[in-house]
Amino acid sequence: PATRVRSTIVEFMRLEAAGGIVLLVAAVAALVWVNVHGDSYHDFWDHHIEFGILLFDELFAVDEGLKAWVNDGLMVIFFFVVGMEIKRELVVGELRDPRRAALPIIGAFGGMLVPAGFFALLNQGGDGIDGWGIPVATDIAFVVGVLALFGRRLPAGLRVFLLTLAIADDIGGIAIIAVFYTDDLSLPHLGTAIGLLALILAGQRFGVRHIAIYVVVGIILWYAAHESGIHATIAGVALGLLTPARPFRGRDVMHSLEHTLLPYSSFLIVPLFALANAGVEVTPDSLGKAFGGSIAWGVVLGLVVGKFVGISVTTIAGARLGVGRLPAGVNLGHVVGASLLAGIGFTVSLFIAELSFADAPALLDQAKKGVLAGSLIAGALGAVFLLVISRVTPTSAEHGSMESVAHK
């Protein structure tokens, strides 16, 4: 089991590292597209598509723009993979051991609380206060992509620390979306969604092994969640958390699903999300308007300064107080570099921005520009700092790359 967990982590990080490059290309493509031919960009992503099914003489249909189908539909698969990752780490991974998990969890908490506080401080009493959740996120694809550039010059423990922190951060981000960015609830649809989750649990208990059955129930669950007012992606997280982390009836379901879905999530869905959401006009006039307000600055301050202060201070304090221990080969300098790198918010930050300002295009534009600028600055500062640290404190052989860990 330990070897399987390590190999899954290695596979995850390899895919996420390569996926980070594809994600960057998609983000640049979105920026080029919207600035060269903005009308075609918006017309394409605003094009409406309706899917429905006639059942018992009643039409169950969802009519959304293409961008909304990506955000509300395809991103469910991304969050399903995230849910499985969380479940595996809680059951058989780093989050299972309180001593190992303590510092990344404390760091993640500080890395959410302080950025949200900075944003709220700049936007208190204004229209932008709803965006306080935007700078709490860390984009694991970009972070792992940057770490991959260092190869063996950074200890494997740092990658595990950041992955654990990002997973704990994901848990917090998902909770924020579920609790604070939920529309008016439809109790009948919410009750249906809960009933379907119970049905899935019952199916597992009674040995139902056919994936197709769970897929059908999952689609109905997505529809119920979509109509309930809870963001539909929460259905993906719930399904991921319900997936058995250990072999079930002689079959490692989670490993099979991750092996199948990770490439689609990393190389198709998340880049499509970036293409649909990262398109913002970049001109002197538009930048002046965006950074003339407090929303963009709140996001930048949260991602660059808030993440750095929140993660590094809480992690170092926890280590000094003996609450937990840092992974082998990781020193406080690595923690500082990781805390800077964790300011790359991008995917989930853009996702929360869309939820925060769905009905306020001007505010959404400011938030997106803040996410792009903040993520770029944080990534650059983190990469430079870790480069300096890697030269000052060379990595010993026993603390080498994730690949070496996988074969120990």
Cα separation of 402 and 395, whole Å?
A: 13
Nearest to 272 by CA among 264, 260, 261, 280: 264
251: number of Cβ within 10 Å: 12
Task: Check residue 99 and give its pLDDT.
Answer: 79
Mean pLDDT for the stretch of residues 137-141: 83
Report the mean per-residue pLDDT for the chain: 85
Sign of CA dihedral 38, 276, 72, 167: negative
Mean pLDDT for the stretch of residues 142-167: 81
Nearest to 260 by CA among 11, 10, 4: 11
Asked whether the beta carbons of 306 and 109 are under 8 A apart, the reply is no
Task: Check residue 249 and give its pLDDT.
Answer: 66
Residues whose CB falls within 8 Å of the CB of residue 359, separated by 6 or more in sequence, listed in order: none
Cα separation of 257 and 80, whole Å?
A: 10
Nearest to 150 by CA among 393, 396, 404, 383: 383
Helix or strand holding residue 63 (H, E): strand 58-65
Cα separation of 292 and 185, whole Å?
A: 36
Q: For residue 16, is pLDDT > 70? A: no
Q: Look up the pTM and report it.
A: 0.79
Task: Check residue 89 and give its pLDDT.
Answer: 79
Q: What is the pLDDT of residues 367-380, one digit of tens each?
A: 999 999 999 999 99
Cα separation of 387 and 175, whole Å?
A: 34
Cα separation of 158 and 169, whole Å?
A: 16
Cα separation of 150 and 155, whole Å?
A: 10
377: number of Cβ within 10 Å: 17
Q: What is the pLDDT of residues 383-407, one digit of tens each?
A: 999 999 888 776 544 444 433 333 3
% of the chain residues with pLDDT over 70: 89
Q: How confident is the model at residue 408 (pLDDT cuts 50, 70, 90)?
A: very low
Q: What is the pLDDT of residues 26-58, one digit of tens each?
A: 999 999 999 999 999 999 999 998 887 766 667
Q: What is the pLDDT of residues 348-367, one digit of tens each?
A: 899 999 999 988 999 999 99
Nearest to 154 by CA among 332, 405, 329: 329
Task: Check residue 405 and give its pLDDT.
Answer: 35
Q: How far is CA 338 from the centre of its chain?
A: 16
Asked whether the beta carbons of 145 and 19 are under 8 A apart, the reply is yes
Task: Check residue 144 and give its pLDDT.
Answer: 76
Q: What is the pLDDT of residues 59-113, one digit of tens each?
A: 777 888 999 899 889 989 988 988 888 888 788 876 777 877 899 999 999 999 9
Residue ranges and CATH numbers for the domains of the chain are: 2-182+231-406 (1.20.1530.10)
Burial of 63 from C-beta contacts in 10 A (0-12 / 13-18 / 19+):
exposed
